[in-house]
């Protein structure tokens, strides 16, 4: 199975993707599933899941929460999360039966980089995003080292905000995703060749078009 576990919809101010576009592209490039995780919102994931009628393709309602220690992906959640406190967020994700993943922990920009020093992240996280298609190879390798150090599952996500980014990074596994993450039987891979372009477009879209 091959999933893209980090996709944004137009419900994120820095993205333009409509649910029907996400589904069309994801299926065209033969993904088996996606996690639609908007910034601090479940709207995109819920909307995309309702639109999907393909029983052989999984849409995971998800959220990306901006916390005081970095961005956290919450997969399989059904309620919004208002807290910005890292430990509160991971607790709330798990209380909903969700999967907690630290996203792009070593991105260059300080606002996107995680602050994990001195924390036993194995107690609060299920996985580390080890390949993010908007992140440098060096930063992704550092994320892999953290996953190895704390014996956490490795995931990959495109961090797509625009059509050409979907599927640029993926998570591969056999069987059920939850089980694969629990047993650390996932692999992350991808390409970051479009990362700089995508990031620049997001900045322009958010500042010039959305005015945020």
pLDDT value of position 212: 56
pLDDT of residue 38: 98
Burial of 95 (0-12, 13-18, 19+ CB in 10 A): exposed
Q: Where are the domains of the chain?
A: 2-209
pLDDT the model gives residue 109: 67
Q: Which pLDDT does position 68 carry in this prediction? A: 93
What is the predicted pLDDT for the residue at 120? 87
* Sheet containing 99-102: order of strands: 153-157, 127-132, 99-102, 70-75, 58-67, 33-39, 2-7, 169-172, 187-190
User: How far apart are alpha carbons 73 and 104 in whole angstroms?
Assistant: 10
CB 69 within 8 A of CB 92: no
pLDDT of residue 173: 98
CATH of 2-209, one of 3.20.20.140, 1.10.3720.10, 3.40.50.300, 1.20.1440.230: 3.20.20.140
**Residues whose CB is less than 8 angstroms from the CB of residue 85 and which lie 6 or more positions away in sequence, other chains included:** 67, 68
Residue 199, SS3 per DSSP: helix
Q: What is the reported pLDDT for 132?
A: 97
The pLDDT value recorded for residue 61 is 97
> Could you report the average pLDDT of every consecutive run of 10 residues in the chain (212 residues)?
98 96 98 98 98 97 96 96 96 97 87 80 96 96 96 98 98 97 97 93 80 58
């Amino acid at each position: 199975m091959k999933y893209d576990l980090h996709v944004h919809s137009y419900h994120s101010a820095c993205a333009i993707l409509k649910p029907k576009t996400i589904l069309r592209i994801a299926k065209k490039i033969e993904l088996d599933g996606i996690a639609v995780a908007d910034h601090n919102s479940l709207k995109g994931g819920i909307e995309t899941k309702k639109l999907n009628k393909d029983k052989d393709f999984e849409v995971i309602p998800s959220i990306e929460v901006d916390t005081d220690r970095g961005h956290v992906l919450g997969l399989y959640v059904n309620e919004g999360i208002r807290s910005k406190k890292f430990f509160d967020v991971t607790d709330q994700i798990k209380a909903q039966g969700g999967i907690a993943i630290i996203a792009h922990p070593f991105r260059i920009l300080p606002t996107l980089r995680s602050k994990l020093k001195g924390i036993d992240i194995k107690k609060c996280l299920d996985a580390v995003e080890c390949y993010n298609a908007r992140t440098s190879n060096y930063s992704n390798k550092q994320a892999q080292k953290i996953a190895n150090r704390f014996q956490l599952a490795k995931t990959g996500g495109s961090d797509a905000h625009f059509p050409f980014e979907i599927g640029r990074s993926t998570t591969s596994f056999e069987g059920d995703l939850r089980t694969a993450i629990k047993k650390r039987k996932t692999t992350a891979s991808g390409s970051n060749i479009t990362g700089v372009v995508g990031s620049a477009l997001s900045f322009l879209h958010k500042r010039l078009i959305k005015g945020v």
